[in-house]
């Protein structure tokens, strides 16, 4: 039996008396595609911040592939194989879309080069392929600051994928993406995750997306895991409907 790819024990953090994580216990098996749902302010983003070292927990621990990563920096955790896409896309505004992706590729292949150019054949090819994957190939040369929010979300996911992580955390990947494109995006994402063997966890507000794609759903409320299980069962639960579905 392989250990869970991510294991979280008794995770606690409060901001000014508001518990954003209140004794969270969680295990994610390799290969899972798990959705996190919950009302605004439930602590979903905070959970991703805790897992990636952006916020240090007051108590508890985070284990990645059986090893303790609690208290490590986002950089150290990223290097171990966890990548993240953000609720608000985090891009390099001064660079073009393709340059953004090439920077991520360079980060994976070795950033410590001072004379060879970033803009090289190998990175261009791999970068364009990644952009094609998220449907952004036609915008490759555009400055990311000029892209609409939906495209920026996709670009942010492309940066995370460029790292070839073993665990991918996405914060509302389909928010800002048009209704028609949501399904296409999720479809290709699922494909990539499967072929690359990436385990993923995504925060989502669109229940239809959750129902269609998630293998497991985790319901978050006031810093606690309210329910967890298969989408059909969880989304039919009275408490969940009151807490989440009713609220959205």
Partner 1 sequence: MPIVVLAVLAALVALLPAAVPWLRFVFIITIASGFAALGVAVLLRAGLISIGHALFYAVGAYAVAFLMRATGTTDLFLLLAAAVVVSGLAGLVVGAFMVRYRAIFFAMLNLAVSMVVFSLLSKLYGLTGGSDGMRVATPTLVGSALDREAFNAVFLYVVIGLFVAAGILVQLYFRSPMGEALAAVETNEVRLEYLGVSVRGVLLSAYVLSAMLAGLGGAIAGIAIGHVVPEMAYWTESGHFVLVAVLGGIAGPAGPFIGAIFLEVLRTLASGFAAETWNLVVGVALLLVIFFLPEGLYGIGAKLFRRRGAQ
Reference 124, options 98, 104, 95; nearest CA is 98
The CA distance from 210 to 152, in Å, is: 22
Q: Which stretch binds Mg ion (CB under 5 A): 18-26, 87-95, 131-139, 160-168?
A: 87-95
Query: Where in 65-124 is the site for partner 1 (CB under 8 A)?
Result: 73-75, 78-79, 83-84, 86-88, 90-95, 99, 102-104, 106-108, 110-119
Considering only residues 38, 45, 69, 221, which one is a binding residue for Mg ion as defined by CB under 5 A? 45
The CA distance from 78 to 119, in Å, is: 23
DSSP letters for 91-145: --TTSBHHHHHHHHHHHHH-S--SSS-SS-HHHHHHHHHHHHHTT-GGGTTSBGG
Q: Which stretch binds Mg ion (CB under 5 A): 40-48, 152-160, 215-223, 227-235?
A: 40-48
Task: Select 79 or 239, whichever has its Cβ closest to partner 1.
Answer: 79
- Mask for 41-60, x = binds ligand ATP (CB under 6 A): xxxxxx--------------
The CA distance from 208 to 137, in Å, is: 27
Cβ contact 85:170 at 8 Å: yes
Does 175 interact with ligand ATP (rule: CB under 6 A)?
A: no
Does 141 interact with partner 1 (rule: CB under 8 A)?
A: no
The nearest distance, CB 1 to ligand ATP, in angstroms, is: 32
Size of the site for ligand ATP (CB under 6 A): 12
């Amino acid at each position: 039996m392989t250990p869970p790819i991510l294991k979280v024990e008794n995770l606690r953090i409060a901001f000014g008396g508001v518990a954003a994580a209140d004794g969270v216990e969680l295990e994610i098996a390799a290969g899972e595609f798990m959705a996190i749902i919950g009302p605004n302010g439930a602590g979903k983003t905070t959970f991703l911040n805790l897992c990636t070292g952006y916020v240090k927990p007051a108590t508890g621990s985070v284990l990645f592939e059986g090893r303790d990563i609690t208290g490590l920096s986002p950089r150290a955790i990223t290097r171990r194989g966890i990548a993240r896409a953000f609720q608000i896309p985090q891009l390099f505004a001064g660079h073009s879309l393709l340059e953004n992706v090439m920077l991520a590729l360079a980060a994976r292949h070795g950033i410590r080069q001072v004379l060879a150019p970033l803009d090289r054949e190998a990175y261009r090819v791999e970068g364009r392929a990644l952009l094609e994957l998220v449907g952004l190939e036609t915008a490759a040369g555009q400055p990311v600051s000029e892209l609409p929010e939906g495209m920026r979300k996709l670009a942010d996911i492309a940066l995370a994928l460029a790292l070839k992580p073993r665990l991918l955390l996405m914060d509302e990947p389909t928010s800002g993406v048009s209704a028609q494109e949501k399904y296409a995006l999720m479809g290709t994402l699922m494909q990539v995750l499967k072929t690359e063997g990436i385990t993923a966890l995504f925060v989502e507000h669109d229940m239809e997306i959750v129902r269609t794609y998630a293998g497991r759903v985790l319901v978050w409320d006031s810093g606690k895991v309210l329910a967890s299980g298969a989408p059909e069962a969880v989304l039919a639960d009275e408490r969940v409907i009151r807490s989440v579905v009713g609220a959205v």
